[in-house]
Chains A and B, each alone.
Chain A
Amino acid sequence: MKTKQLFASLLLMAYGLGTAQADYTLNLMEGVTSISKDVYGLHMLVLWVCVFIGIVVFGAMFYSIYFHRKSRGYQASNFHESTKVEILWTIIPTVILILLAIPATKVMLEMDDVQDSEMTIKVTGWQWKWEYEYLDSGIRFFSSLDEASNKARQLNSGIDPRTVPNYLLNVDKPLVVPINTKIRFLFTAADVIHSWWVPDLGWKKDTIPGFINEAWTSVEKAGTYRGQCTELCGKDHGFMPIVVIAMEKADYAAWVAEQKSAAVEAASAAEKDWTQEDLIAQGEKVYANNCASCHMADGAGIAGTFPAVSNSPVVLGDMNAQVELMLNGKGMMPAFGQMLDPVDFAAVATFIRNGLGNAVGDSIQPAAIKSLQAAIPEVVYDDDDE
């Protein structure tokens, strides 16, 4: 397999790029917004300017290297100064730079104009997932690496990433937006600096704890667009992708309605009594997506850095202390009280007490978690807002 790939890539180099895989790109993508297309245009412009300058400079240099060599008997001249030439090759680049700066400034101003947006989405970076909050409709959820990628990306997982669809570029819950709508994004972070980048939208923006940044987009074409965190944010920086699904406006409205009823359902799920088996089954999934990257899939942790869950005195001890730790975090351990809904939280708390080599035997109900969590109170909106 490896030799085959190696051979394939060498072949690729030798015979040009025509044989490349279909989803393969060599250049910046043009994207699906007016801004991304402007950026692409600017990129191509400056690229061609560089190619042109390169041809002139390298042309002169290689001409000289070929003809002005001692082995051809060429006698060296002795010139070493020419104010005229020096002025010329200062002025020409200056003119080129000015010609580049004009369109660049235009695009910059356009990017900066966030006013007159039709909706706002708040994006919060967390180690290592994204939180999306639709400020106009109250929808709020976390988006993290999907389960299949997460399993395959473990050290020596034995799973070939090529068999995983959209490996490392897929999430459990994508961001959904309507097309042809000016969407304003507000960016902030909860812990360290992250950066939110979807190449097809044409920009990236840093998310900084304590501060708010903004940017806007208006997607012209329905489709699924993928991106990643681009500011080093710790261990799993490479594993917090972004997926944006742009929909026709009607589909988007349906999606919003669906989310709202799902939220009601989730609230009632948190009220009902769960059996231990159901909690453990649900908890296993939650563990794989939220805990396994540090505490490892088998709960063994990483010595010296991440404590083991299996046979951990915290897990084997008082359940309230364990729940408290999970809710509020400690050191590198994030506060999951802010990330998991009551059902998932209760499920994973129950799972680690009864799985991964532990057998405490007790369980906790979502309703009990709900009263402890920093639940988000109802948002009150202006009625005349619509």
Chain B
Amino acid sequence: MSAVTAEHEHDEHHDHGPEKGLLRWIITTNHKDIGTLYLLFALAMFFVGGAMALVIRAELFEPGMQFVSPQFFNSMTTMHALVMVFGAVMPAFVGFANWQIPLMIGAPDMALPRMNNMSFWMLVGGILLLASTLFMEGGAPASGWTLYPPLVLQTGAALPFAIFAVHMLGISSIMGAINIIATIFNMRAPKMTLMKMPLFVWTWLITAFLLIAIMPVFAGAVTMLLTDRFFDTSFFNAAGGGDPVLYQHIFWFFGHPEVYVMILPTFGVASTIIPVFARKPLFGYSSMVYATAAIAFLSFIVWAHHMFTVGMPIAGELYFMYATMLIAIPTGVKIFNWTATMWQGSMTFETPMLFSIAFVVLFTLGGFTGLMMALAPVDFQYHDTYFIVAHFHYTLVPASIFILMAGGYFWLPKWTGNMYDEKLAKFHFWLSAISVNILFFPQHFLGLAGMPRRIPDYAVQFADWNMVSSIGAFIFGFSQLLFLYIVIKTIKGGTGEKVSDEVWEDAHKHGLEWTLPSPVPYHTFATPPEKIPTEHF
């Protein structure tokens, strides 16, 4: 939609603009259009997944069952996770990648524009198929997003559809990843060497490799579920010589890198935003690149820390404990580097910066609980309680989601040429930052006090904090409508003030995109740029 505005402004400068009408969005191969589609779709799914979360929090507002059946509750937790992971967070970062990677490396478009279009529509198909399971006999999958057998095999008619949906989402992600890698490898402006690329591009390059490595493994695992159910194989069925724990190993071999797929681009966006508002180059550029690579590598060798309680031999438990603890080192380096970037800067606190600082602080809290649960013997207590729920929501909501908001506020003026309403945006930030803590912080207490996760009802000693958490959830959820309003208003013209080409003070020192006109023309970098910003040197 942002590009619609761009079209009116810049049509005359180009020999061919976008198609007119709805067809433009269906057949488009323009990286900006596809980026917009991804972002809008992700935003829609954010509200769908959020609505499911509110169903969960409404049921948990008070002890006793008030609104939904336990089975539907389980479907909600399962679908909330799948929709948020595959429908909201991942597509949103792909949207950023589509918009920003060509702009940041001085390329005219993505390397494989037609495949780009296909991978978006495949995503939409996958999510619609997944959502359709809600209306099937026996309900949507209710075994958690991890789809553990044997429980998942008790799913009703929905099982094959959910698995095909996962296949489609996987193929879509793989196509997106191939496109991103090909773009970064082959389309960079001549002077844009790898070690001059903005960190966002670097983190996406590594993320794309993660996706290519893990998505086929996940596809393999769910395919085996399908054959176990319908073709009498026994991959995970003890009676036929299989092992249900094997599924967990394969799943988490995918699942652990998968959570980094959601967090590495987050690091990239934060590393792009913080230097701009600190008016200082990013501290330790190369160590940031190496730390990202190190985290990606470690993500492949720590999976079984998700399954400390399945009864592994002691040697396995200890190995996975030590390996997991190692992750704290590169992650720590990143946090220290962001702090050092702010140190002795000349900071201003526009909304993107506020969200980024909140990200650094709250992600660090999520990191702390991560370190705590890395210790296997203590994880025997934490495992599958609300402490875990608090942990991963801290690393996803005030981290990935906040950074998506930050990125939105940061680049929207560039894309649309309109400034968002700073006052409203700051209000949105404070509402979100406070309510997200009301929502998730008490969950630490609940978990430590003994409340398991994925339960629709709880003992009365957990009542107070659940109520607090639910209140936080509703404030947080409804605050996001404000975000929607601000985004729509900005696209429609914003504050009326036209932004400069660099939008943020001295931003042109930090990235190629700020050297382009605002709003960004429909076609950019038809000829590669001569000069590239070298701020991080």
The residues of A with any CB-CB pair to B shorter than 8 Å are 2, 5-6, 8-10, 12-13, 20-21, 23-29, 38-39, 42-43, 46-47, 50, 53-54, 57-58, 60-61, 64-65, 68-71, 74-82, 85-86, 89-90, 93-94, 97, 100-101, 104-105, 107-109, 111-112, 152-157, 159-162, 166-169, 187, 191-193, 195, 197, 199, 202-206, 208-211, 213-214, 227-239, 302, 304-305, 332
Cβ–Cβ contact B329 & A90, under 8 A: yes
Task: Tell me which of B360, B378, B385, B445 contacts A61 (CB under 8 A).
Answer: B360
- Assuming the contacts A12-B464, A162-B460, A204-B384, asked whether A213 and B454 have C-beta atoms less than 8 A apart, the reply is no
Inter-chain contacts of B224 with A (CB < 8 A): none
Nearest 3 Cβ contacts at the A-B interface: A210-B238, A238-B455, A213-B311
Cβ–Cβ contact B460 & A161, under 8 A: yes
Cβ–Cβ contact B457 & A68, under 8 A: no
Task: Tell me which of B69, B318, B361, B468 contacts A105 (CB under 8 A).
Answer: B318
Complex CA–CA separation, A29 to B415 (angstroms): 52
- Assuming the contacts A70-B279, A228-B455, asked whether A101 and B287 have C-beta atoms less than 8 A apart, the reply is no
> 8 A-B contacts, Cβ less than 8 Å apart?
A23-B461, A27-B445, A64-B347, A75-B346, A76-B278, A80-B283, A199-B450, A211-B243
Cβ–Cβ contact A46 & B464, under 8 A: no
Cβ–Cβ contact A77 & B280, under 8 A: yes
Inter-chain contacts of A228 with B (CB < 8 A): 450, 452, 455
Inter-chain contacts of A74 with B (CB < 8 A): 344-347
Cβ–Cβ contact A107 & B377, under 8 A: yes
Cβ–Cβ contact A79 & B448, under 8 A: no
Q: How far is the CB of A195 from chain B (nearest CB, A)?
A: 6
Complex CA–CA separation, A74 to B349 (angstroms): 14
Complex CA–CA separation, A153 to B457 (angstroms): 8
Inter-chain contacts of A154 with B (CB < 8 A): 65
Q: Which of chain B's residues has its CB closest to A199's CB? A: B450
Cβ–Cβ contact A104 & B377, under 8 A: yes
Cβ–Cβ contact A100 & B455, under 8 A: no
Q: How far is the CB of A355 from chain B (nearest CB, A)?
A: 23
Complex CA–CA separation, A42 to B339 (angstroms): 29
- Assuming the contacts A46-B378, A70-B279, A162-B460, asked whether A97 and B238 have C-beta atoms less than 8 A apart, the reply is no
Cβ–Cβ contact A28 & B377, under 8 A: no
Q: Does B458 contact A (CB under 8 A)?
A: yes
Cβ–Cβ contact A76 & B452, under 8 A: no
Cβ–Cβ contact B342 & A61, under 8 A: yes
Cβ–Cβ contact B279 & A108, under 8 A: no
Complex CA–CA separation, A112 to B455 (angstroms): 29
- Encode contact with A along B467-504: 1 for CB under 8 Å, 0 otherwise: 11001000000000000000000000000000000000
Q: Considering only CB atoms and an 8 Å cut-off, how many residues of chain B contact the other chain?
A: 103
Inter-chain contacts of B280 with A (CB < 8 A): 76-78, 80
Cβ–Cβ contact A9 & B283, under 8 A: no
Complex CA–CA separation, A58 to B381 (angstroms): 28
Inter-chain contacts of A39 with B (CB < 8 A): 377-378, 380-381
Inter-chain contacts of B365 with A (CB < 8 A): 54
**Given A9-B465, A47-B372, A54-B365, 10 other A-B contacts at CB below 8 A?**
A28-B448, A101-B321, A155-B65, A169-B459, A192-B150, A204-B383, A205-B311, A208-B310, A210-B239, A234-B154
Cβ–Cβ contact A42 & B384, under 8 A: no
Q: Does B108 contact A (CB under 8 A)?
A: no
Task: Tell me which of A89, A104, A232 contacts B333 (CB under 8 A).
Answer: A89
Q: Which of chain B's residues has its CB closest to A42's CB? A: B378
Complex CA–CA separation, A202 to B347 (angstroms): 47
Cβ–Cβ contact B325 & A229, under 8 A: no
Complex CA–CA separation, A333 to B357 (angstroms): 52
Inter-chain contacts of B138 with A (CB < 8 A): 304-305
Q: Does B71 contact A (CB under 8 A)?
A: yes
Cβ–Cβ contact B471 & A193, under 8 A: no
Complex CA–CA separation, A77 to B328 (angstroms): 29
